[in-house]
Structure 1
Amino acid sequence: MYIHLGGEKVIRSSELIAIFDISIEKSSKVSKQFMVHSQQDKRLERIGDEEAKSIIVTKNTVYYSPISSSTLQKRARTLLEL
């Protein structure tokens, strides 16, 4: 199964590790360090030109998505129910 992350980006649901609201980046030093480290390792990808609303962590890549974390979580939950 696949999850649409916004724009033209779709990932396999089996690659998904976590979905976070963008506010976690500003409220947690550990999260900020993780994002900086991901960017340095060239594993960080921004989806589209819109403001990011969520952070999606997969096995190989971290994404900034313009879709809210609650919407993405609903999509992921729907796939688990199938």
Structure 2
Amino acid sequence: MYLSIGGDMAVRDRTLIGIFDLDNTTCSRDTRAFLTAAEQGGQVVDVSGALPKSFLLTEEFGMDRVYLTQFNAGILEKRMEQKENTIHV
């Protein structure tokens, strides 16, 4: 299954490691360092089209990728839950 993350982009749900709220997580020095290193390493994909509200961390084919999206983390988590409920019904 795929999760739509905006900007005509979708990620495979099985590659998803985590969904993180930018306002809450960037308070941490470690998270800021991680995002800076990911950006310098060319691993960041900005699909927000505006000010990003959350980021997703994925791993596929041995490569980490960070997607910046305009949706808040709660919306993306609800989308994942809806997909899981649809599959198991």
Aligned residue for 1:72? 76
- Unmatched tracts of structure 2, length 5 or more: none
- Unmatched tracts of structure 1, length 5 or more: none
Q: TM-score, normalised by structure 2?
A: 0.85
Aligned residue for 2:6? 6
Q: Distance in 2 between matches of 1:40 and 1:62?
A: 12
What amino acid sits opposite 2:17 in the alignment?
I
Q: TM-score, normalised by structure 1?
A: 0.92
For the pair shown, the structure with the greater C-alpha radius of gyration is: 2
**Aligned sequence identity (%):** 26
Q: Distance in 2 between matches of 1:62 and 1:48?
A: 12
What amino acid sits opposite 1:20 in the alignment?
F
Cα 1:37/1:19, change in 2 over 3 Å = same
| CA RMSD after TM alignment | 1.0
Q: How many residues align?
A: 81
